[in-house]
Every structure is written in C-alpha cells, then in structure tokens.
Amino acid sequence: MSDVPVQRSAALKNVRRIVVKVGSALLTDPVAGLSRNKIADYSAQLSELMTRGYEVVLVSSGAVAEGCKRLGWRIRPETVHELQAAAAVGQMGLAQAYESELSAHDRGTAMIMLTHEDLADRERYLNARATLGQLLELGVVPVINENDTVATDEIRFGDNDTLAALVTNLLAADLLVILTDVDGLMDRDPRHQDGAERVTTAAAADTSLDQLASGGSGELGRGGMVTKLRAARLAARSGAHTVIASGLVTDSLLDAVDGADIGTLLVADMTPMTARKRWIAGQLRARGDLQLDAGAARAVKDRGVSLLAVGVQAVSGQFHRGDVVRILDPDGVVVAQGLSNYSSEDVARLKGVRSEDFAEHIAYVGEPELVHRDNLVLM
C-alpha cells in the first residue's frame, strides 16, 4: 500500500526511547557461534540511532548458542544444568562482542542480566528501572539478556521476546523493535507454505492475528511468532508500538524506526497503564487463583470494578497479602490479575461472604475488597 510509510511515520513520529530485541537466529548458528559481522552491523545501527537523539536499549539472545559452539554442542541441550553451563560460557563471548563493536563507535556498554524474580519483586523492579534510566542518561547502551546461568523454569521469562516487552514496560519505552529471521507477521508460515504475504500494519490487540502466528523456532532459540505477538501486546500496555521485522535486511533497524514499509507494525491502540499496573500485568507467575461466579466475572471484566469476596467461588494456591493473584471466570479463563488484600487462608474463609460480615470469619479486617480496582488489571 502506498500510504503505509505515511501511516507509519505518523505513528512513530514521537518515538524517543526504543527497546531492540535481536534473536538467536540472527546472531548465531550451531557451528560458527556468534556472528561478529551481524553484531557489528546492529551496533552501528544502534549508534546511529543514538546520534539521531534516540535512547536505545538492546535485548540480545545468543549466550546459550555461543556457549554451545564453544563447548562443541551442535544441538541446544535439554537439561537445566547443561543449559546453564552453556549460558555461563557463552555470556562471556556475547558481552565481549558487543563491548568491542559498540566501543568502535565510542559508545559505552553495560551488561544487565535479569531473571523473572528481578521484575517480580517490587523493590528490585524499581531498582532495575532506576539503574537502566541512569545508564540511558549517561549515554550508555544497556545490553540485556535473561540470566540463563541461574534461571530455572520456575523463574525464567521463557524467551527474550517476553523479556524485551517487560523491559519496554519497565522503562515506559515508546517503541519495541523485534528483529527476527522472517519479514514480519505473515498470513501463513513462509518456511512451509508458498505465497505468504506480510501483514503491514495492525492493532496489537486484534485477536484475528492469533491464527496467523506460528509457534515454531529455530534449533537454538525458544521463541516463535506467537511469543512476538504476545510481546507486542505486553508492550502495548505502556503505550509502546511494536515492529516485527527481518534483521537480515540491510539497515532494517534504522528503516523500522524511520517508518519504512518493512516488517509488521503492531499499533498500541489502548490507553497506557500506570507504572504500577504495568508491573502487576507483567507478573507472569501469580501466587494463586480466585475463581468467580458469572455475575462477579462480568462485573470485573466489563466494568473493571474492585473484586468483592461475595463473588468468589473457589480459591487455590498459597499467597500472602500483597501477592499477585489471577482472577478467573467460571470456565477458568483468566479475566484479570491483581494484588490480594488478604492471604489465601483468609480468602478461603471469606469466599461468598459480604464485606460487612468479614469480622465474623477472620480475626483482622482490613479493606472491604479482596482486590481493589487500583490494584487490578484486566487481562
């Protein structure tokens, strides 16, 4: 479409802070490990964006793949300890490569290793935000990767697409650029079907996109188009647009930021959440579940009201006051997530009880709501 660049330029005209995610498929292969040429290319583009006045944060995969190469492993291992060993070996090469290539452009670098626990704990979340903000003020490029060396399945993000989206929320960035090995979101999988056409622009929240996303990933990666679409929706919660584009094309990062007709632009067409609600929405592992009756589920989902105990039918998990809980409809579908005002033991006593009768069931009565609307996010 001839007007796509015009539409994109309009959508991206106020972008100042950018999170860039580069996947393993672009940086590595099972034999050669890290591609220094590609890292040099992306580093040059990042430096150019900074020259233009943008703040940039890089989320980069590649540590495990580089470690596999250094250890002589041609296939990504399955066991946690092997993965952690590969990450520990490969992280040295990843950090060295970015430091070397960015310093050639007189850019400082900082390596930031994160696990989900770093962003799940409110104090550590705020500390991470402050540190990254200070690095950006200093003109340093933060290079972020999941800390695979210590992460386990219980605390890992699962893929760097999700990590990049949560960093976008953390920093209230304006744009997330996900560079991958395909041209963008396609109407069919180009690796297995001919005639695939690129989706140029769409709303991130458009549910019709779900059937277009493929769950596939390369030998050395964990993500697929499903995770990229999910990342775009996470990023949209802070008002950030997302571009999914091929990192194999020359200057693709610069073109994506300039609004050129490459990749898929997923527009954040929702009102940005407050910083606190972004943190709540970003918690990927809730401590417990509260299942509601149909009326309470409709009230929460359609009106975003506070959750009262009278509408709760069942409670599961073990959680304390202030922990994140999921809110489910009668069919078990998650409709919201929020901070509980009571422990799981208290909620088990209070389910189905009117607020004015709390004192008959628990020793200490605090708030009349189980989850206040200010601490509740619709999912």
CA distance 169 to 70: 34
For 137-257, strand residue ranges (E) read 140-146, 175-180, 201-203, 241-246
Per residue in 310-342, pLDDT tens? Answer: 999 999 999 998 889 999 999 999 999 999 999
For 147-278, strand residue ranges (E) read 175-180, 201-203, 241-246, 264-267
Question: Would the pLDDT of 295 be above 90?
Answer: yes
Mean pLDDT value across residues 76-86: 85
Question: Would the pLDDT of 222 be above 50?
Answer: no
pLDDT number for residue 30: 57
pLDDT number for residue 154: 40
CA distance 351 to 92: 52
Ranking 91-100, 206-215, 240-249, 330-339 by mean pLDDT, the lowest is 206-215
Greater pLDDT, 89 or 153: 89
pLDDT number for residue 33: 75
The CATH code that applies to domain 286-378 is: 2.30.130.10
Ranking 25-34, 278-287, 359-368 by mean pLDDT, the lowest is 25-34
pLDDT number for residue 217: 43
Question: Would the pLDDT of 151 be above 70?
Answer: no
Per residue in 232-249, pLDDT tens? Answer: 998 998 889 999 999 999
Greater pLDDT, 153 or 186: 186
CA distance 59 to 70: 22
Question: Would the pLDDT of 2 be above 50?
Answer: no
pLDDT number for residue 148: 56
Task: Give residue 369's pLDDT band: very low, low, confident or very high (50, 70, 90).
Answer: very high
Task: Give residue 223's pLDDT band: very low, low, confident or very high (50, 70, 90).
Answer: very low
Mean pLDDT of the chain: 86
What 8-state DSSP symbol labels residue 150? T
Greater pLDDT, 113 or 157: 113
Is the CB of residue 241 less than 8 Å from the CB of residue 234?
no
Mean pLDDT value across residues 170-186: 91
Mean pLDDT value across residues 372-376: 90
Q: Please give the torsion angle defined by the CA atoms of residues 170, 329, 309 and 378, in that order, rounded to the nearest 10 degrees.
A: 20
CATH 3.40.1160.10 in the chain, residue ranges: 4-277
pLDDT number for residue 3: 58
CA distance 93 to 81: 19
Collapsing DSSP to helix, strand or coil, 269 comes out as coil
Which token pair is 185? 């979101």
For the chain, strand residue ranges (E) read 17-22, 28-29, 33-34, 55-60, 108-114, 140-146, 175-180, 201-203, 241-246, 264-267, 288-292, 312-317, 324-328, 334-339, 376-378
**Which CATH number applies to 4-277: 3.30.360.10, 3.40.1160.10, 3.40.50.970, 3.20.130.10?**
3.40.1160.10
pTM: 0.78
Task: Give residue 195's pLDDT band: very low, low, confident or very high (50, 70, 90).
Answer: confident
CATH 2.30.130.10 in the chain, residue ranges: 286-378
Question: Would the pLDDT of 221 be above 70?
Answer: no
Ranking 1-10, 228-237, 358-367 by mean pLDDT, the lowest is 1-10
Question: Would the pLDDT of 214 be above 80?
Answer: no
Q: Give me the helix-helix angle, 80-103 and 36-51, nearest 10°.
A: 50
Phi-psi region of 139 (alpha: psi -120 to 50; beta: other; left: phi over 0): left
Residue corresponding to tokens 């609600």: 277
